[in-house]
Amino acid sequence: MKVRVRLYATLVDLVPPSIRAQTPEMRAARPFELEVPEGSTLAHLIEQLALPRAEIKAIFVNGRVCPLDHLLQPGDEIGIFPPVGGG
Amino acid sequence: MWILRINMTDRSYRLEELPEAYKNLAGRSLTSTIIHDEVPPTCHPLGPNNKLVFSPGFVTGTAAPTSARISAGAKSPLTGTIKESNAGSEWPQALASMRIRALVVEGQPQEKGKFWMALLSWDKAAGKPAVTFAPADEYVGLTTQAAYNQLFGRFGNRVSIAGIGVAGERLYGNSGIVFQDIKRRATRYSGRGGLGAVMGSKGLKYIVINREGAPGVQLANAALFEEGRRKMTEALRTHSITKPKGSLNTYGTAVLINVMNEAGGLPTRNFSSGRFEGAPNISGEAIFEGNKQRLGKELYNHPCSPGCIIECSNTWHKPDGSEHASCVEYESSWALGADCGIGDLDDVAELVRLCNEYGLDTIETGTTLAVAMEAGLAPFGDGKKAIELVHEMGKGTPIGRILGSGTETAARVLGVRRSPTVKGQSMPAYEPRAVKGIGITYATSTMGADHTAGYTIAPEILSVGGKADPLSPEGKAELSRAFQATTAFIDSTGHCLFIVFVILDIPSGFQGMVDEVNGVLGTQYTADDVVKLGMEILRKERAFNEAAGFTRSHDRLPEFMKHEPLPPHNTVYDVPDAALDAVFGQM
């Protein structure tokens, strides 16, 4: 199934080049489509992108923060953030 | 330690020894205490009985990192409440180096339309500060940078300047006080609450400080201070948000545009949606990438003031690589961008630049433009028309003066029901219907709608200092109260509020802040005292507001938020009034 993913701030730079090559439209804050196996959780998705977990602060699914064991549905919109702050 | 009083009725000044009762007060705790003790709560904010108080924080002027902050306070012409508006600049360091704990501007000249500047210097022979006055009429009507350039030419590059632009001269409800940044740009603002108009009403255009020969800040316990400074520095240097090339240093405060948009809480087109399709184009990431493209290299951010090690201030550059504006903050990019439906960073940067040049608060300006757009003065998204409207404010045309009065007044004049204000001050960049806790802060803050008064966004959105579901009202009254009290104390330390991200996550950083303050004052405060001391400040501020006529019925969000569902979550503001009243119910 397909989901839409956005990686914010520094996270795009942390995806290994081999994986980035498969999704050339992957840029900071821009959405890209990703094919994930049925029954995937957010944890699986993080693994698939080879993102270091320690760098991830919050993951939104359809606008709500969700835990890593959250089960993905087709068409989900996912936003992944490193620690950010401002004001 | 001194209190310096400048009387603008006769252009005289008086130095007073800091009274015993004020010995352990500085920054917001001192500005609010002096206003509470000396300003009649029912006075007209632009009349002779209001006072404009400046106070550097406890550690401002010391080697404490990220601590060049000034509290400016008065009765606000925008809200009618007490006001503290905080900025970062070397100006408060200069004031602190003269051992001036508070500078109080009083009185009002008889002469209409005339302006003066006050020149502070250190009288070596007498061992104390001295003040002279000079006419400032030649600078009236100039843009702020042009005027500051002339002033630096006249007094030398080593002076520090606080001043007002045309918005303050014309007594706009939306007018700030501007301080210089590290490169002498006239861009660091005590923006909120119309304090520029208070300064303007007193005929005071600039306060120029020449700190040469000044003795510097005295430390009661230098060893303890040093220990605290080390802890704070270490914490700031290691936390991912504040470390070098961390998120603030790389992307600036505008890094929040995307996260708030993702959370469905980025107010868009005058608070009619929580998502803006153009958000990625005005985000911190877009600023970093755009600069990289236009400059051919990565550009990291710079400090707004000497001694800041977070360094979050950015510059935005034109296609030819020349500097366009500084600083494109989150609040500014949101107010002048998303809230107006404008997704073009060059237009947003021009609007920021114009606000700085005319002396306007970027938040209040953006929310006012959005109200004007809802009224049909311009289509949402029309950046060029928005720029024209800000020029109207700068020129002082009738429509410009109406818009310069702020969001609530403009909404009333233009017949717009959806006015996103509390106590006359417009909301900043977080939608209360999507983030319930920050709505409680907006409603109950002593300042009108103000995110910095109690930044529950940290746990509600950023997962800093714990986690809380933004869409749930549960437990948010307590959360907002704790943040408001802690913030009142931090606003007194002289540290930038951004240390919050660090001290909430790193306990030694929190202890470092307390050690620094004890090191300066010789006090024995503990971490537990912070909330208590903060509550004491809030108590005085609320007492002032109550005597000025504010009641529980003013601690409310605008009605439309209770019945207009906000996309994408389609939620309304459902925090019960009783919960709002409970925030300070025990006081």
Decide if B462 and A87 are in contact by the 8 Å CB cutoff: no
Contact B192, B361 (CB under 8 A): yes
Please write the tens of the pLDDT for every residue from B123-135. Answer: 999 999 999 999 9
Q: Does any CB of chain A come closer than 8 Å to the CB of residue B314?
A: no
Query: What span, in angstroms and rounded, lies between the C-alpha atoms of A64 and B569?
Result: 9
H-run or E-run covering A86: none
pLDDT band at A23 (very low <50, low <70, confident <90, very high): confident
Nearest CA in chain B to A10: B247
**Contact assessment for residue B77 and residue B83, using Cβ atoms and an 8 Å cutoff:** no
CA dist., res. B199 & res. B194, Å (int): 9
- Dump pLDDT digits (tens) for A41-79: 999 999 999 999 999 999 999 999 999 999 999 999 999
A78 to chain B: closest CA residue: B262
Give domain B2-210's CATH superfamily.
Aldehyde ferredoxin oxidoreductase, N-terminal domain (3.60.9.10)
| Domain-located, residue A86 | no
Nearest 5°: CA angle at B169, between B43 and B29? 50
% residues pLDDT > 90 (chain B): 99
Instruction: Check if CATH label 3.40.640.10 holds for domain B432-497+522-587.
Output: no
Task: Calculate how close chain A gets to B497, using CA atoms only, in Å.
Answer: 9
Nearest to A86 among B239, B248, B470 (CB): B248
Question: B296: Cβ–Cβ under 8 A, 6 or more apart, which residues?
Answer: B321
Per-residue buried b or exposed e for B112-147, using 16+ beta carbons within 10 Å of the residue's own CB: eeebbbbbbbbeeeeebbbbebeebeebeebbbbeb
For A81, which residue in chain B has the nearest alpha carbon? B259
Query: For B560-568, what is the mean pLDDT?
Result: 98
Place of tokens 């957010």: A42
- In-domain check, residue A55: yes
A4: contact with B, CB 8 A cutoff: no
Longest pairwise C-alpha distance within chain B = 68
With b for 16 or more beta-carbon neighbours within 10 A and e for fewer, the A5-19 pattern comes to: bbbbbbbbeebeeee
The verdict on A19 touching B (C-beta cutoff 8 Å) is no
Q: Are B205 and B142 in contact (CB under 8 A)?
A: no
Are B188 and B332 in contact by the 8 Å Cβ rule? The answer is no
Q: What is the DSSP string of B485-507?
A: HHHHHHHHHT--TTHHHHHTT-H
A32 touches chain B (CB under 8 A): no
Contacts of B442 (CB under 8 A, 6+ apart): B422, B427, B432, B449, B450, B451, B557
User: Smallest CA–CA separation between A38 and chain B, in Å?
Assistant: 24
Cα B27–chain centre separation? 13
HSE-up of B495 (CA within 13 Å, CB side)? 29
pLDDT, mean of residues B536-548: 98
Provide CB contacts within 8 A for B153, sequence distance 6+.
none
Residues B297-356 have pLDDT tens digits of 999 999 999 999 999 999 999 999 999 999 999 999 999 999 999 999 999 999 999 999
CATH code, A33: 3.10.20.30
CB contact under 8 Å between A86 and B330, yes or no, is: yes
A26 part of a folded domain: yes
Q: Identify whether A87 is part of a domain.
A: no
pTM of the model: 0.98
Residue B212 has pLDDT above 90, yes or no: yes
In the predicted structure, residue A27 carries a pLDDT above the cut 90: no
Q: Say which CATH class B253-300+313-430 falls into.
A: mainly alpha
pLDDT at B516: 98
Contacts of A63 in chain B (CB under 8 A): 262-264, 568-569
The whole-angstrom distance between A8's CA and the closest CA on chain B is: 8
Spatial separation of the C-alpha atoms in residues B272 and B439, rounded to whole Å: 16
Local structure of residue B458 (DSSP, 8 states): H
- Note which residues in 466-525 of chain B have CB less than 8 A from chain A: 467, 469-471, 497-498, 501
Interval B45-96: pLDDT, tens? 999 999 999 999 999 999 999 999 999 999 999 999 999 999 999 999 999 9
Please give the full DSSP string across B269-333, using - where no structure is assigned: TTTTBS--TTGGGGSHHHHHHHHHHHHSS----B-SSTT-SS--B--EE-TTS-EEES---HHHH
Task: Say yes or no to pLDDT of B242 above 90.
Answer: yes
Taking the CB of residue B272, how many other CB atoms lie within 10 A of it? 18
**String of b and e for B204-233 (b: at least 16 CB within 10 Å)?**
bbbbbbbbeebeebebebeebbbbbbebbb
Confidence of residue A87 (pLDDT cuts 50, 70, 90): confident
First to last CA, chain B: 32
Residue B579: what are its φ and ψ, rounded to 5°? -70, -40
List the one residue out of B328, B170, B365, B163 whose CA is nearest residue B252.
B328
For all residues of chain B together, what is the average pLDDT?
A: 97
Predicted confidence at residue A28, as pLDDT, reads 84
8-state DSSP, B550: -
Provide the domain count of chain A. 1
| pLDDT of the residue at A25 | 87
Q: Residue B437 belongs to what H/E stretch?
A: helix B436-444
A68 touches chain B (CB under 8 A): no
The model's pLDDT over B256-266, given as tens digits with 9 standing for 90+, comes to 999 999 999 99
Can you tell me the distance from the alpha carbon of A20 to that of B36, in angstroms, rounded to the nearest whole number?
Answer: 59
The answer to whether the Cβ–Cβ distance between A8 and B330 falls below 8 Å is no
Bond from prior residue into B327 cis (ω within 30 degrees of 0): yes
* Cα R_g (chain B), whole angstroms: 22
If we measure between CA atoms, which residue out of B193, B197, B233 comes closest to residue B62?
Answer: B233
Q: pLDDT > 90: what percent of chain A? A: 84
- Retrieve residue A54's tokens: 């320690």
pLDDT tens, B426-471? 999 999 999 999 999 999 999 999 999 999 999 999 999 999 999 9
Is the CB of residue A84 less than 8 Å away from at least one CB of chain B? yes
Chain A residue numbers with beta carbons less than 8 Å from the beta carbon of B430 are: none
- Which residue among A63, A82, A85 sits closest to B568, beta carbon to beta carbon? A63
Q: Which carries the bigger pLDDT value, residue B338 or residue A24?
A: B338
- Per DSSP (E only), the strands in B22-99 are 52-56, 69-75, 82-88
Residue A24 pLDDT level (bands cut at 50, 70, 90): confident
ipTM: 0.95
pLDDT at B100: 98
Is residue B579 scored above 90 in pLDDT?
yes
A81 with B264: Cβ contact below 8 A: no
For chain B, domain boundaries: 2-210, 253-300+313-430, 432-497+522-587
Q: Which residues of A40-52 are buried (b: 16+ CB within 10 A; e: fewer)?
A: bbbebbbeebebe
Query: Which residues form the domain of A22?
Result: 2-81
